[in-house]
Chain A
Amino acid sequence: MLTANHIQELCRYRDLILRIAWSDFKLRYKNSALGFLWSLLDPLLMLIVLYVVFTNLMRIQVEHYQLFLLLGIILWNFLDRGTSLSIWGIVGKPSMVQKVYFPRDILVISTCIMALMMTALEFLVFIIFMAVFQVMPGMTIAYFPPIFACQFLIVLGLSLALAALNVYFRDVQFIWKVIVQIGFFATPIIYPITIFPENVRWMVMINPMAQIITMMRDCILYRTGPEPLSLVYLAISSLLVLFAGYLIFDRLEPNFAEAI
């Protein structure tokens, strides 16, 4: 369980966590000429398609729609990538599970950190875009780290549960893919939350990802701080997801080496 002891243990293994994350990250691009650029190409292409569709055909009236869209996609991509890579975090490294022992959540944590590295690259592109469109963030940018930390906890919590479940049920990956796809459209990524009537918005905003993306846009693009209540809700829900993830992971972990 996620006890103080366990966190201490993880700290002792921080070298290992970072080393696995970094080598996996490097390996992803080792054999491609364009290297890191590939990871940028994917969200950019999606951005272009969505941008063309939504500005010309659907006519959504949002200030800085390009950045609005790109930020949403980057944040959603972090969730998508983190979880779908982590699904293979345990199953994809059988020898690390069957031939050596270290706390196995390390494999999932390092996969999430690798996804974080890829997202960091995308944020670099985002900064360039902000400069190009001459949008300067205000002091509210200070809200970025805590909100993003909450998202990391959510991604980690989901990843732990998915990685553990995928050891026993190999179709979890397909089910999850569908859920992520639905989530993409159910979360205000390509549209602003204001397209919903006032009285149903809360239903959309139950989703912590909707909270994260909305708050991030407010504090990065529109110089508006989040409402304290939303921030508290996000903190609580992200911790809940993390604990639920650990609960499932710890329940299933003892038999990994046999079931893999």
Chain B
Amino acid sequence: MAVEMDHIWKTFQIPHEKRTTLFENLMGLCRPNSFETFSVLKDISFKVEAGECVGIIGDNGSGKSTLLKIIANILRATKGTVRVKGKMTPFLELGVGFHPDMTARENISVYGTIMGLSRREINDSIDDVIDFAGLHKFEDTKLKNLSSGMQVRLAFSTAIQTEPDVLLVDEVLAVGDMEFQHKCFDVFNRYRKEGVTILFVSHDLGAVRRFCDRTLLLGGGEQRAFGETGEILDKYVYGEKESNLEKEAAEKETTPARPNRWGDKKVTITDVKFLDKFGMQSSRFSSFDPMTIRIFYSAPDGICDPVFGIALYSEKDQHLYGTNTELKNTTIDKIEGDGYIDLEIGRIPMLSGRFLLTVAAQTHEGNVFDWIDKKYSFEVLRKDRDDGLFEVPCKWVA
């Protein structure tokens, strides 16, 4: 057992009136200050085996970072106990204690010491660090004269000299360019092979899927699920629908119909739903999963041979794709009353991002019954580490 969390609660007390001086506190003695208590973590219990890599995921504000800080002993739990076995190194921020007025070399010494390296280890590895960071020419340059990219490289190269038993990683991988991120992943792979226990907080679900044996899902400070990574990621992406639907409903209400809908309303589109691979309504999808767009219509007077169409836009308003029943050679003889039509997508090719959907019903001649422009949207979450907007089906041949 490398890390054991036993019924951890963390409550922050936020005073209504912030008193930062002795004077204010003395003056406030006769007026008791009231507190707002806010539970960031509620009854979190889990165990991590030695050598395991555990991902921690959840929306912003779900308590991921707080949890990591409690494991790191930076924050203390309000209730419950934390047990960590072995030497622990937190990568919560790179370059803690870096000082702009010191040279690269001096900063390595200080930062290395903070990360728990002994003087001898630092002396032995300092040249490797400078090599790895590619800063040979700049080793005696003051840190403030290095570019921010160089500073991050310097910090990272120093940090990975540590040989922890338990490694805590918070979103640090998110900074830096692609090349740097690849370097990071290489290093984490090395750590994993060496049997280091890793706790990994990330929004990058692709990375979590690749690296983590098990995953902890937090939501609103509660432990929603803990188990095998694939299962938990599905739960995260497709689960928790109600709250999302409510949110979306609220969004729709707050954005009144802009002049983005037109048509003679002989057919009206009453609703659009996105269905996931389980046939449940969702607004979040993993890339490469199947998805169904269900368009609900109402045609009180009955219409012969209508055409339904959709168009996809990126958040930056790029037109990505458009199709309709005519183009796909699907004929609809006659519709009358309320009903729906499905567009089945076998594999979502988009990698990540938010996508806007236009739906329309019209005649073959182009007379619009109802056209709703970019009103509906869904989100795609990254599954692996390919870069860009969408996947091109391909493979490498060597």
Residues of A near any B CB (own CB < 8 A): 15-16, 19-20, 23, 26-27, 30-31, 93, 95-102, 168-172, 175, 254-255, 257-258
Q: Which residues of A contact B119 (CB under 8 A)?
A: 15, 19
A15 to B93, CA, bound (A): 21
Determine which of A30, A95, A102, A169 lies in contact with B93 in the assembled complex, contact meaning CB atoms within 8 Å.
Answer: A95
Q: Which residues of B contact A169 (CB under 8 A)?
A: 20-22, 25
Given A100-B96, A101-B72, residue A171 in contact with residue B90 (CB < 8 A) = no
Q: Which residues of B contact A99 (CB under 8 A)?
A: 74, 90, 92-93, 96
A171 to B26, CA, bound (A): 12
**For the side of the interface on B, what is the size category?**
20 to 34
Known: A19-B113, A30-B102. 7 other contacts (CB 8 A): A19-B110, A30-B101, A98-B74, A99-B93, A101-B90, A102-B116, A169-B25
9 residue pairs of the A-B complex, CB under 8 angstroms, read A26-B106, A27-B102, A96-B114, A100-B72, A102-B114, A102-B116, A168-B20, A170-B20, A257-B75
Lowest 4 CB-CB distances: which A-B pairs, in order? Answer: A171-B21, A169-B22, A99-B93, A19-B113
Given A99-B96, A169-B20, A257-B69, residue A15 in contact with residue B90 (CB < 8 A) = no
Chain A CB within 8 A of B99 CB: yes
Mostly, the A contact residues are helix
Q: Which residues of B contact A172 (CB under 8 A)?
A: 22
Chain A CB within 8 A of B330 CB: no
A168 to B110, CA, bound (A): 28
Q: Which residues of B contact A16 (CB under 8 A)?
A: 113-114
**B59-118 contacts to A (CB < 8 Å):** 69, 72-76, 90, 92-93, 96-97, 99, 101-102, 106, 109-110, 113-116, 118
Q: Are B74 and A257 in contact (CB under 8 A)?
A: yes
Please, which residue of chain A has its CB at the minimum distance from the CB of B120? A15
Q: Which residues of A contact B110 (CB under 8 A)?
A: 19-20, 23
Q: Which residues of B contact A98 (CB under 8 A)?
A: 69, 74
Q: Are A31 and B96 in contact (CB under 8 A)?
A: no
A258 to B66, CA, bound (A): 11
**B1-33 contacts to A (CB < 8 Å):** 12, 20-23, 25
Q: Are B113 and A171 in contact (CB under 8 A)?
A: no
Q: Are A101 and B74 in contact (CB under 8 A)?
A: yes
Please, which residue of chain B has its CB at the minimum distance from the CB of A254? B76
A169 to B23, CA, bound (A): 8
Q: Are A19 and B101 in contact (CB under 8 A)?
A: no
**B340-369 contacts to A (CB < 8 Å):** none
Q: Which residues of B contact A100 (CB under 8 A)?
A: 72, 74, 90, 92, 96-97, 114-115
CB distance from A167 to the nearest CB of B (A): 10
Q: Are A96 and B96 in contact (CB under 8 A)?
A: yes
Given A100-B92, A101-B74, residue A258 in contact with residue B12 (CB < 8 A) = yes
A25 to B332, CA, bound (A): 82
CB distance from A23 to the nearest CB of B (A): 5
Given A19-B110, A169-B25, residue A101 in contact with residue B96 (CB < 8 A) = no
Determine which of A20, A175, A254, A258 lies in contact with B22 in the assembled complex, contact meaning CB atoms within 8 Å.
Answer: A175
A249 to B76, CA, bound (A): 15
Q: Which residues of A contact B93 (CB under 8 A)?
A: 95, 99
